[in-house]
Amino acid sequence: MPSLIDFRRRIRSVKNTQQITKAMKMVSAAKLRRAQDRVIAARPYSKMLREMLSNVAAAAGDNEAASENPLLAVREQKKALLVVVTADRGLCGGFNGNLIKRAVAFVRENPGIEFTFDLVGRKGRDFFKKRYSGVSGEMVGIFLKSPAYADAIELSKRVMQQYADGEIDAVYLAVNEFKSVMAPNITVKRILPLEVPAESGAGDYVYEQDPVELLGTLLPRYVEVQMYGALLESAAAEHAARMTAMDSASSNAGDVIEKLTLYMNRVRQAAITKEIIEIVSGASALE
């Protein structure tokens, strides 16, 4: 049986770990608030851009040149690109593992498509590079700070260039969307070819610029905004998952400390009882 010193060392070690998990929870809570504010602030812009794209697409619908945009080209899906957005660090529960499992399941659900991967985040990069050969791009370290719009532009340009050149026939995005603190929403959605939103019917506009040219400008911007929104959603979901995981770890550490303290008291009580019995027995032998 462990001695009292062993129990005290173990309790001290668990308490130190508990202090770390509590501090990490507080840090994640502060970062979550800022990340959540950025997500909420970005959503109206994305919605407005979608409505604008819908109106411009309706205005350019009668022009055959609008359908020649490479981002609207629909081809038979023989090759596809899967963009997987994970975190750069762990200690966030099943945030990375569940997303990777969903991405792998999506690949297996489509055996007739040859997939290549563009990996955002160190955890996804490490997993897929060890198990799959078709990695066409990677971005690591962007979640160690707040994701910037420049990161979304870099990722979007790489993806759109491959699609426009005919190297791939579709682009899918696997990401943790931020829905609540307790549970993120894992989604796999198609990014390219673009599905132009249906006509909003907001009104009849007069365009100074030709609607076809305007559509060609808005389509890449729409892809960039979708990518940027995905990065923001993933960052917020990561902080929420880490805050929840660290809260659970702190609670578990408290339970371990309580059990170890109980065992230590039992061992100390047994040692004291043994010493009393030895003293009494010795005194009785001298009589």
Are 12 and 131 found together in one domain? no
Q: pLDDT class for 203, splitting at 50, 70, 90?
A: low
pTM: 0.86
Are 264 and 137 found together in one domain? no
Are 35 and 57 found together in one domain? yes
Q: Calculate mean pLDDT across residues 259-271.
A: 87
Q: What is the pLDDT of residues 209-224, one digit of tens each?
A: 787 888 888 889 999 9
Are 10 and 120 found together in one domain? no
10, amino acid identity: R
211, amino acid identity: P
Q: Calculate mean pLDDT across residues 10-17.
A: 94
Nearest to 42 by CA among 220, 236, 244, 239: 236
Give the sheet arrangement for strand 170-177, strand by strand.
135-139, 114-120, 79-85, 170-177, 185-192
The CA distance from 164 to 191, in Å, is: 13
**Which CATH number goes with the domain that contains 217?**
3.40.1380.10
Active site annotation includes 195: no
By residue range, what is the domain housing residue 154?
Answer: 29-243
**Which CATH number goes with the domain that contains 10?**
1.10.287.80
Nearest to 159 by CA among 188, 136, 187, 125: 136
Are 115 and 103 found together in one domain? yes
Are 116 and 258 found together in one domain? no
Looking at the predicted structure, is the pLDDT value of residue 202 above 70?
Answer: no
Are 46 and 102 found together in one domain? yes
Are 85 and 194 found together in one domain? yes
Are 174 and 218 found together in one domain? yes
Are 129 and 152 found together in one domain? yes
Buried b (16+ CB within 10 A) or exposed e, 65-74: ebeebebbee
DSSP state of 199: P
Are 237 and 249 found together in one domain? no
> Cα–chain-centroid distance for residue 27?
17
Nearest to 16 by CA among 257, 264, 261: 257
Q: pLDDT class for 198, splitting at 50, 70, 90?
A: low
Are 171 and 231 found together in one domain? yes
Number of domains in the chain: 2
Nearest to 250 by CA among 29, 46, 35: 29
Q: Catalytic pick from 92, 237, 260, 264?
A: 92
DSSP state of 70: G
Q: What is the pLDDT of residues 86-123, one digit of tens each?
A: 999 999 989 999 999 999 999 999 999 999 999 999 99
